[in-house]
């Protein structure tokens, strides 16, 4: 597994640009299956997960290629869509399951491998499937595949058991070409869903209620290609903002969207960081005296994002006092705690709760990345730690962070 070593104790100062949002680009690329003709998707982060989705689209005969560079994808959807998603791609990346709704809506039949769980949880797809069934699809699960059949989906009012991001996106995409109106109640409200809806509307869809928990889709006959620019990555922005205070420095992120970061900014301020919102897209976080313990629960948007939980916990490991962290979204998302404890952190976990008691400083160690966001947290820990930290499993990190080591080096980090 690829690894990265860094020397802690260097103060990070400077400005860094945020890349496009992985979790917006992935559903948007899946959505291009619905959209006939040519689309140009801009501000796409150059990530392993994006490469996986590009392979997925090409396997379905939607031609996707970087043009003219890796941050712009040209999509040519002019052939008959294939029905079956390849096993190796879906199991490599859970988000590949986002192609199920679009294939079903476009062709009337989709055969997609069950995505299976991952290190942070079982990651079921029951809410996705309940939505497709409500729209008239026949659903069969056998031999590790999900088969979805319905010549023409019908719009319907439905209520999601949980505001699942992926289920909201999959169902919303399928509803674009259904007969009649679909109302999705208790829909997730993450900004990445809004970005997907904006792309689809630009292509001719009729989606309203964007940003609310009730999304209304009036089905149309067809969608046609257009150009769309992906929103910035709020989780990368949160990670970079924490890199300032955790090293005693000051980091400005450019090209972010403040309204996507409010829950994180509030908690950074509560922890004693100085956070300056220079304008809607430029935010600075600076060390401003001893860091203080804070409590937080991860929640669906607009609550504190689960994808920033590990990074915020890392800041709390060196914040004076005792913090209580509740991870309410996933059943096993504290694996970074064991690795942080190897670096001297004082953390007790019990189910969905972690009790973090601050220590003056972490100490460098060899640690391993268990999931994408834990990887970023361990690098933040290494920036603070006394001595050298070696992080194993950088392939996880490359799935979701574009040039993170280079960005941190530009701010003064010492990557060996």
Binding site for ligand EPZ (CB under 6 A): 22-23, 26, 94-95, 121, 123-128, 162, 164-167, 188, 306-307, 329-330, 372-373, 400
- In angstroms, the first-to-last Cα distance of the chain is 17
Q: Assign residue 108 a region: left if phi > 0, alpha if psi is -120 to 50, beta otherwise? A: left
Which residue, 86 or 248, is less far from ligand EPZ as judged by CB?
Answer: 86
The one catalytic residue among 118, 150, 176, 226: 118
Q: Are 283 and 276 in contact (CB under 8 A)?
A: yes
Which residue, 220 or 257, is less far from ligand EPZ as judged by CB?
Answer: 257
Strand ordering across the sheet containing 282-286:
13-17, 250-254, 282-286, 274-279
Residue 127 C-beta: closest distance to ligand EPZ, Å:
3
Residue 209 C-beta: closest distance to ligand EPZ, Å:
18
Residue 147 C-beta: closest distance to ligand EPZ, Å:
17
Rg from Cα positions in the chain: 21
Which residue, 113 or 225, is less far from ligand EPZ as judged by CB?
Answer: 113
Residue 1 C-beta: closest distance to ligand EPZ, Å:
18
Residue 103 C-beta: closest distance to ligand EPZ, Å:
17
Euclidean distance between CA atoms 86 and 92, whole angstroms: 10
User: Is 150 an annotated catalytic residue?
Assistant: no
- Which residues does 350 contact at the CB level (< 8 Å), separation at least 6? none
Q: Which residues pair with 266 in a beta bridge?
A: none
Residue nearest to ligand EPZ (CB): 166
Q: What is the SS3 assignment for the chain?
A: CCEEEEECCCCCEEEEECCECHHHHHHHHHHHHHEEEEEEEECCCCCHHHHHHHHHHHHCCCEEEECCCCCEEEEEECCCCCCECCHHHHHHCHHHHHHHHHHHHHHCEEEEECCCCECCECCCCHHHHHHHHHCCCEEEEECCEEEEECCCCECCEEECCCCCHHHHHHHHHHHCCCECEEEEECCCCCHHHHHHHHHHHHCCCEEECCCCCEEEEECCCCEECCEEECCECHHHHHHHHHHCHHHCCEEEEECCCHHHHHHHHHHHHHCCCEEEEEECCEEEEECCCCCECCCEEECCCCCECHHHHHHHHHHHCCCECEEEEECCCCCCCCHHHHHHHHCCCEEEEECCEEEEECCCCCECCEEECCCHHHHHHHHHHHHHCECEEEEECHHHHHCCCCCHHHHHHHCCCEEC
Catalytic amino acids? 118
């Amino acid at each position: 597994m690829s690894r990265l070593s860094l020397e802690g104790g260097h103060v990070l100062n400077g400005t860094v640009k945020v890349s496009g949002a992985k979790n917006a680009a992935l559903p948007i690329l899946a959505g291009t299956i619905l959209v006939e003709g040519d689309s140009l998707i801009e501000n796409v982060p150059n990530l392993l997960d994006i490469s996986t989705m590009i392979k997925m689209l090409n396997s379905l005969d939607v031609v996707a290629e970087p043009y003219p560079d890796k941050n712009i994808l040209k999509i040519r959807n002019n052939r008959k869509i294939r029905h079956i998603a390849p096993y190796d791609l879906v199991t490599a990346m859970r988000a590949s399951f986002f192609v199920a709704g679009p294939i079903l809506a476009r062709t009337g039949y989709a055969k997609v491998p069950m995505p299976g769980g991952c290190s942070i949880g079982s990651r079921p797809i029951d809410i996705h499937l309940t939505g497709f069934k409500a729209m008239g699809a026949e659903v069969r699960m056998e031999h590790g595949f999900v088969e979805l059949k319905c010549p023409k989906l019908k719009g319907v009012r439905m209520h999601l058991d949980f505001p699942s991001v992926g289920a909201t996106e999959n169902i919303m995409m399928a509803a674009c070409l259904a007969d009649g109106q679909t109302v999705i109640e208790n829909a997730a409200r993450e900004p990445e869903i809004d970005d997907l809806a904006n792309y689809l509307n630009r292509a001719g869809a009729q989606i309203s209620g964007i940003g609310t928990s009730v999304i209304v889709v009036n089905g149309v006959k067809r969608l046609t290609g257009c150009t769309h620019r992906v929103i910035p990555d709020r989780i990368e922005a949160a990670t970079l903002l924490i890199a300032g205070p955790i090293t005693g420095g000051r980091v400005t992120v450019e090209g972010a969207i403040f309204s996507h970061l409010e829950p994180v900014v509030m908690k950074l301020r509560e922890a004693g960081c100085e956070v300056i919102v220079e304008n809607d897209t430029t935010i600075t976080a600076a060390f401003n005296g001893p860091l203080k313990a804070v409590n937080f629960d991860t929640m669906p948007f607009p609550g504190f994002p689960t994808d920033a939980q590990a990074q915020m916990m890392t800041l709390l490991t060196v914040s004076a006092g005792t913090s209580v962290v509740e991870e309410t979204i996933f059943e096993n998302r504290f694996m970074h705690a064991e690795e942080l404890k190897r670096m001297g952190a004082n953390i007790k976990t019990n189910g969905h709760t972690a009790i973090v008691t601050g220590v003056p400083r972490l100490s460098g160690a060899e640690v391993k990345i268990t999931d994408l966001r834990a990887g970023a947290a361990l690098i933040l820990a290494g920036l603070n730690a006394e001595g050298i930290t070696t992080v194993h499993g950088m392939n996880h990190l490359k799935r979701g962070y574009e040039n993170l080591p280079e960005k941190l080096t530009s701010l003064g980090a010492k990557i060996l």
